[in-house]
Amino acid sequence: MDSLDLLRRFERQPDGTWTCLEDAAIVTPAGTLAIPAGTTYVYGERHENLDVAEYLEQLGAQFGS
């Protein structure tokens, strides 16, 4: 799954959280973080040492979302 495909599987909510729309996976140095659809991430919360909301914000900036 490339970065753009990953970003398309999430929707940014008005409150700044990110909700997963389809099952997704993020590969990190620590392993693969499997994300089931319906999961919501809040900025500042870390999961397997990754702030998923911040990561998605960075991808959105990279792709102009």
Question: Tell me: the pLDDT tens digits for 7-62?
Answer: 999 999 999 999 999 999 999 888 999 999 999 999 999 988 899 999 999 999 98
Query: How big is the chain, counted in residues?
Result: 65
**Contact partners, residue 21, CB within 8 Å, separation at least 6:** 9, 10, 11, 37
In percent, the amount of the chain with pLDDT more than 70 equals: 98
Predicted local confidence at residue 64, as pLDDT:
76
Q: Which residues pair with 19 in a beta bridge?
A: 11, 40
Look at the block and give the residue holding tokens 């911040």.
54
State the pTM of this model.
Answer: 0.89
Predicted local confidence at residue 6, as pLDDT:
94
